[in-house]
Amino acid sequence: MEKEEIKIDSSQILFLIGDTGTVGIVKVSNDQMLFIGTPEKEEIVMYLEKNDLIAISAFGKGEKYEKGIKSLGYLTREMNSPIIVLPKDHPTSKRLSMVLSVGDTVRLDCDIIPGTHPEQDILCSCNSLSGTIITKTENGVKIKGNTLNYKIEKF
């Protein structure tokens, strides 16, 4: 699997479009801290650099999901909204329409329970995007994995 570099800057969002889901990727754009609340009632502090990624996975396709992805990206990046991690047996994980991950590399996986992973290098996705690895670069992202359908829009 070759790595494909896709150029995006902090004013853009990259949408990876799968058969039954969508992943949106934005750059953090500024060095900042982001807090993660865990089921153990601890708070993890993530120190993010401007080229780190915010990846949001939605369990559907189309304009409705893309608007939701943009909104969650804005809340995370601009409003510093914390990430909440649910316990693995929490019934709400079945109702999540979107989940997110932040950091320099994100691995998409369809075999995990949405919203239950405090590790920020893994993100629940639809089956057709599973196995894709997204890595930050100075000028965008490198994508390793399946052949992807994608588009770039203004964020």
**pLDDT over threshold 60, residue 9:** yes
Which pLDDT score, from 0 to 100, does residue 2 have?
Answer: 55
Span 18-37, pLDDT tens digits: 999 999 999 999 999 999 99
Chain centroid, CA 100 distance in Å: 4
Domain count, the chain: 1
Span 51-79, pLDDT tens digits: 999 999 999 999 999 999 999 999 999 99
Q: And the tokens for 125?
A: 């996705």
Q: How many residues does the chain have?
A: 155
Q: How confident is the model at residue 147 (pLDDT cuts 50, 70, 90)?
A: low
Smallest CA-to-CA distance from 26 within 75, 85, 62 is with 75
Which pLDDT score, from 0 to 100, does residue 98 have?
Answer: 96
In which domain, by residue range, is 10 found? 3-154
Span 102-132, pLDDT tens digits: 999 999 999 888 888 888 899 999 999 999 9
Alpha carbons 63 and 107: distance in angstroms, whole number: 24
Alpha carbons 114 and 155: distance in angstroms, whole number: 25
